[in-house]
Amino acid sequence: MNVILSTIVWAPAFFALVVMFLPERDEEQRSRVRTVALAGAGLSFFVNTFFAIMGQIGLGQGGGLSSAYQESRTWFWNFFFQAHYDLAADGMTLTLLVVTTVVFGCAIFHSWKIRERVRLYVILVLLLETAVNGVLCSADFVLFAVFWGMLLVPMYLLIRVWGGAGARRAAAWFMGFQAVAFVLIIATIAIILIEAGTRSSDMATDLQSFSRTAETVGFWLSFAGFAIAMAIFPVHTWMLEVQAKASAGVATILSGTMLMLGAYGMMRISLVVFPVPAHYYSFAITGLAVVGACWGSFGMLRQDDLRRFIAYLNVAQMSLVLLAIGTQTSVALVGAILLLAAHGLASAMLTLISGGIEERTRTGSIRALGGLVAQAPRLAGFWLFAALSVIGIPALAGFTADFMVFAGSFPVHRIATVLVMGTVIVSTAGLLWVAHRVFFGPVRDQFARVRDVTLLDLTVLIPLVAAVLLFGIRAGAVVPIIANGVLEITTRIAGG
Amino acid sequence: MLADFGHAMTLALLPEAMLAGTAAVSVAVALLRPGHRPDIHRWIACIGLVASLAACGLILLGLRGERSGVAITVWNGGFVMDSFALFIAILACIVGLLTCLISDAPVRAIPTRTGAYYPLVLVTTAAVEAIGAQREMVTFVVALTLMLVCLVAIGALVKTDPRGGVSSFEHLIEAGAGLTAVLYGVALLYGVTGTSTLGSVASTLKNAPGVVAIGVALIVLGLCASLGIFPLRRWVGRVATSVPASTAGFIVTMSMIGGAAALARVAVSGLGSGVGPWKWLVSIIAALALGHAALSALRETSVARLIGHLVSAQAAMLLLGLLAFALGSGGFPAYGITAFLGALAVSAVATVAAFGVLAMLQAAGIGDAIVGLRGLSHRSAPAALLLSIAIATLAGVPPLAGFLSRVLLVTSAADAGYGWLAIVAAVATGLTVIAAAQFIALIYREAGDEVPFTLGATPVASRIVAGAACFLGVALAVLIQPLLAVATAGAGPLR
3-state secondary structure chain B: CCCCHHHHHHHHCHHHHHHHHHHHHHHHHHHHCCCCCCHHHHHHHHHHHHHHHHHHHHHHHHHCCCCCCEEEEECCCCEEEEHHHHHHHHHHHHHHHHHHHHCHHHHHCCHHHHHHHHHHHHHHHHHHHHHHHECEHHHHHHHHHHHHHHHHHHHHHCCCCHHHHHHHHHHHHHHHHHHHHHHHHHHHHHHHHCCCEHHHCHHHCCCCHHHHHHHHHHHHHHHHHHHCCCCCCHHHHHHHHHCCHHHHHHHHHHHHHHHHHHHHHHHHHHHHHHCCHHHHHHHHHHHHHHHHHHHHHHCCCEHHHHHHHHHHHHHHHHHHHHHCCCECHHHCECCHHHHHHHHHHHHHHHHHHHHHHHHHHHHCCCCCECHHHCCHHHHCHHHHHHHHHHHHHHHCCCCCHHHHHHHHHHHHHHHCCCHHHHHHHHHHHHHHHHHHHHHHHHHCCCCCCCCCCCCCCCCHHHHHHHHHHHHHHHHHHHCHHHHHHHHHHHHHHHC
Cβ of residue A280 closer than 8 Å to a chain B Cβ: no
Cβ of residue B430 closer than 8 Å to a chain A Cβ: yes
pLDDT value for A56: 58
Nearest CB to B333; choose among A80, A116, A161? A80
pLDDT value for A319: 96
Interchain CB distance below 8 Å, A161 and B434: no
Q: What is the mean pLDDT of residues B173-199?
A: 87
Residues of A in contact with B333 (CB under 8 A): 80
- HSE (side-chain half, CA atoms, 13 Å) at B292: 18
Interchain CB distance below 8 Å, A194 and B431: no
For residue B2, pLDDT over 60 is answered with: no
Nearest CB to A156; choose among B330, B334, B441? B441
pLDDT value for B373: 86
Q: Give the predicted TM-score (pTM) of the model.
A: 0.92
Interchain CB distance below 8 Å, A176 and B437: no
For residue B262, pLDDT over 80 is answered with: yes
For A171, the closest chain B residue by CA position comes to B438
pLDDT value for A54: 67
Give the other-Cβ count within 10 Å of A495's Cβ. 9
Candidates B332, B191, B196, B168; CA nearest to B266 is B196
pLDDT value for A58: 62
In this predicted structure, which of A193-202, A231-240, B20-29, B173-182 has the lowest mean pLDDT?
Answer: A193-202
Cβ of residue A30 closer than 8 Å to a chain B Cβ: no
For residue A152, pLDDT over 60 is answered with: yes
In this predicted structure, which of A450-464, B12-26, B364-378 has the lowest mean pLDDT?
Answer: B364-378
Nearest CB to A161; choose among B335, B423, B445? B445
pLDDT value for B466: 87
In sequence order, what are the residues at sequence separation of 6 or more whose Cβ sits closer than 8 angstroms to the Cβ of residue B253? B95, B99, B311, B347, B348, B351, B352, B355
In this predicted structure, which of A71-80, B90-99, B217-226 has the lowest mean pLDDT?
Answer: A71-80
The string over B274-313, giving b where at least 16 C-beta atoms fall within 10 Å of a residue's C-beta and e elsewhere, is: ebebbbebbbebbbbbbbbbbebbeebebbbbbbbbbbbb
With cut-offs at 50, 70 and 90, classify the pLDDT of residue A219.
Answer: very high
- Identify which has the larger pLDDT, A121 or B368: A121
Nearest CB to A160; choose among B339, B415, B441? B441
pLDDT value for A34: 95
Cα dihedral A195→A199→A201→A206 (10° resolution): -70
pLDDT value for A322: 97
pLDDT value for A186: 93
Residues of A in contact with B335 (CB under 8 A): 78-80
With cut-offs at 50, 70 and 90, classify the pLDDT of residue B391.
Answer: very high
Percent of chain A at pLDDT > 70 equals: 96
pLDDT value for A60: 60
In this predicted structure, which of A434-443, B327-336, B340-349 has the lowest mean pLDDT?
Answer: B327-336
pLDDT value for B202: 67
Q: What is the pLDDT of residues A23-47, one digit of tens each?
A: 888 889 999 999 999 999 999 999 9
For residue B8, pLDDT over 70 is answered with: no
Interchain CB distance below 8 Å, B423 and A161: no
Interchain CB distance below 8 Å, A186 and B407: yes
Across chain B, what does the average pLDDT equal?
87
A12: alpha, beta or left? (left if phi > 0; alpha if psi -120 to 50): alpha
Q: What is the pLDDT of residues A292-350, one digit of tens each?
A: 999 999 999 999 999 999 999 999 999 999 999 999 999 999 999 999 999 999 999 99
**ipTM score here?**
0.88
pLDDT value for A210: 81
Window 431-490 of B, Cβ < 8 Å to A = 431, 433-434, 436-437, 440-441, 444-446, 477, 480-481, 484-485, 487-488
Q: What is the pLDDT of residues B275-304, one digit of tens each?
A: 667 888 899 999 999 999 999 999 899 999
pLDDT value for B278: 81
For residue B9, pLDDT over 70 is answered with: no
With cut-offs at 50, 70 and 90, classify the pLDDT of residue A61.
Answer: low
pLDDT value for B160: 67
Q: What is the three-class DSSP state of A74? A: strand
Q: What is the nearest CA distance from B138 to chain A, expressed in angstroms?
A: 34
Nearest CB to B485; choose among A78, A175, A179? A78
Window 62-81 of A, Cβ < 8 Å to B = 74-81
Residues of B in contact with A171 (CB under 8 A): 441
pLDDT value for B70: 75
Residues of A in contact with B392 (CB under 8 A): 153
Q: Residue ranges per domain, chain B? A: 276-495
For residue A496, pLDDT over 60 is answered with: no
Interchain CB distance below 8 Å, B397 and A152: yes
User: What does DSSP assign to residue A447?
Assistant: G
For A201, the closest chain B residue by CA position comes to B411
First to last CA, chain A: 33
How far apart are alpha carbons A272 and A251 in whole angstroms? 30
First to last CA, chain B: 20
A248: alpha, beta or left? (left if phi > 0; alpha if psi -120 to 50): alpha
CA distances from A463 to A107, A253, B13 (A): 11, 15, 70
Interchain CB distance below 8 Å, B446 and A116: yes
pLDDT value for B218: 92
For residue B201, pLDDT over 90 is answered with: no
Q: What is the pLDDT of residues B20-57, one digit of tens each?
A: 999 999 999 988 887 777 788 889 999 999 999 999 99
Window 285-324 of B, Cβ < 8 Å to A = none
Across chain A, what does the average pLDDT equal?
90
Residue B300 CA, chain-centre distance (Å), reads 22
How far apart are alpha carbons A295 and A302 in whole angstroms? 11
pLDDT value for A62: 61
For residue A351, pLDDT over 90 is answered with: yes
In this predicted structure, which of A142-151, B219-228, B325-334, B344-353 has the lowest mean pLDDT?
Answer: B325-334
Q: Residue ranges per domain, chain A? A: 4-493
- Identify which has the larger pLDDT, A207 or A284: A284
